[in-house]
Amino acid sequence: MTFERRNLEGLEQNFAAIIEYIMKSINKLQQKWGVGQVQFWLIMTTFALGGSLSGYLNKQILNLVFLEKNAAYWLIYPLLLTILWPISVILVSFLTGQFLFFKGYLGRIWGRLTGGAGASPIHVAIFASGAGSNAKKIIEYFENRSSRIKISLIVCNVPGAGVLEIAKSKGIPTLMINKTEFASTGYVESLHNADIHFIVLAGFLWKVPEVLVNAYQPGMKIDSSMVNGKTNTAKGIINIHPALLPNYGGKGMYGARVHEAVVAAGEKETGITIHWVDAHYDEGDIILQKKCGIEHTDTPSTVAQKIHLLEHQYFAPTIEEILSK
């Protein structure tokens, strides 16, 4: 009885170890692809159905061409399957709602196979904590242009934030982060695995940890990426602040708090500042500032509206200018 119990306990431990390994592998894939649990399983379903469809079509086509399974049959079998598999996966991805993911996924495979013919894309991650109005404008700006700049990931720290719905509607992968891990690792590995070259902070309320700032200094190596036979490199991190820095910046100064302080101080003008991100709040080198006037009838709410107009007008073109150099 004792022997049987030991065997049973051993099997349970082995089973638990296998399950733990599988779950870790799934988590790694989710982080690499920058997708949530639901989207992950939709992607895996697409792989499975696409593989089954390509195998079925392959056999049907070969059976029409060949009367028997001779040497030519088995020679052509893998070649035809290689052609049919991506076509089948793309067809199935329309049904599962994962077309944009597989378009990018297969595009990266093709780029590696062909040595990355043409200019390689620049993958951008947008970090946001709220409704995502700036993120939406940036996404729409680049999706409507024939640009190599691709918004490839939305990083968010607030469950249920509006920016997540925007990402979902646009078919852009998301990465949810927690404060403890962000402070210690900066999610650098996840960003590298997603081939992210450039980070845009658009209403992101946490301080960026030094480990992430250092990893994304322009020119730093992105370990996972090889494009055109050359090591891929980071292109930096930028932020947009709703005031004319260095005024009304620093810890705790964001959103409505900034506008309230500006109005309370009786300022005659305010504006936006787009700047590089360093290890301190709002102290990175300034890239661009744009101003707007403040009338005596303005309130924090009306000032916020003026600032949003400036943000929507200048943020995306500034990103394009930086990444086109």
- Establish if 13 belongs to a structural domain: no
CA 6 from chain center: how many Å?
A: 47
CA distance 81 to 102: 18
Active-site entry in 241, 275, 280, 296:
241
Tell me: do 182 and 270 sit in the same domain.
Answer: yes
Q: Give me the amino acid identity at 122.
A: I
Tell me: do 76 and 205 sit in the same domain.
Answer: no
CB atoms within 10 A of CB 173: 23
Over residues 67-72, the mean pLDDT reads: 85
Residue 310 sits in a domain of what CATH number?
3.40.50.170
Q: Is the pLDDT of residue 230 over 60?
A: no
123 among known catalytic residues: no
Tell me: do 168 and 288 sit in the same domain.
Answer: yes
Count of structural domains, the chain: 2
Tell me: do 174 and 86 sit in the same domain.
Answer: no
Domain boundary among 84, 111, 138: 111
Tell me: do 250 and 292 sit in the same domain.
Answer: yes
Over residues 89-112, the mean pLDDT reads: 80
CA distance 163 to 247: 28
Tell me: do 134 and 205 sit in the same domain.
Answer: yes
What tokens were used for 223?
A: 């370990």
- Establish if 317 belongs to a structural domain: yes
**How crowded is the C-beta side of 254, counted as CA atoms within 13 Å?**
16
Residues 6+ apart with CB under 8 A from 135: 126, 128, 154, 163, 166, 167, 202, 203
Tell me: do 88 and 210 sit in the same domain.
Answer: no
Tell me: do 81 and 146 sit in the same domain.
Answer: no
Tell me: do 94 and 243 sit in the same domain.
Answer: no
**Strand 230-233 relative to strand 221-227: parallel, antiparallel, unpaired?**
antiparallel
**144-154 pLDDT, tens per residue?**
665 688 999 99
* C-alpha torsion 168→169→173→175, nearest 10: -40
Q: Is the pLDDT of residue 117 over 50?
A: no
Q: At 138, which helix (H) or strand (E)?
A: helix 133-143
pLDDT of residue 301: 95
CA distance 268 to 56: 70
- Establish if 5 belongs to a structural domain: no
CA 175 vs CA 121, 154, 187: distances in Å: 20, 6, 10
Helices (DSSP H) in the chain: which residue ranges? Answer: 2-33, 37-65, 71-96, 99-113, 133-143, 162-170, 179-185, 188-193, 210-215, 256-264, 300-323
- How much of the chain exceeds pLDDT 70, in percent? 86
Tell me: do 274 and 146 sit in the same domain.
Answer: yes
pLDDT of residue 269: 96
**247-305 pLDDT, tens per residue?**
999 888 988 999 999 999 999 999 999 999 998 888 999 999 999 999 999 999 999 99
CA distance 201 to 203: 6
pLDDT of residue 227: 40
Which structural domain range is residue 229 located in?
Answer: 118-325
Q: Is the pLDDT of residue 219 over 90?
A: no
What three-state secondary structure class fits 137? helix
Tell me: do 185 and 257 sit in the same domain.
Answer: yes
Tell me: do 210 and 105 sit in the same domain.
Answer: no
Q: Is the pLDDT of residue 226 over 50?
A: no
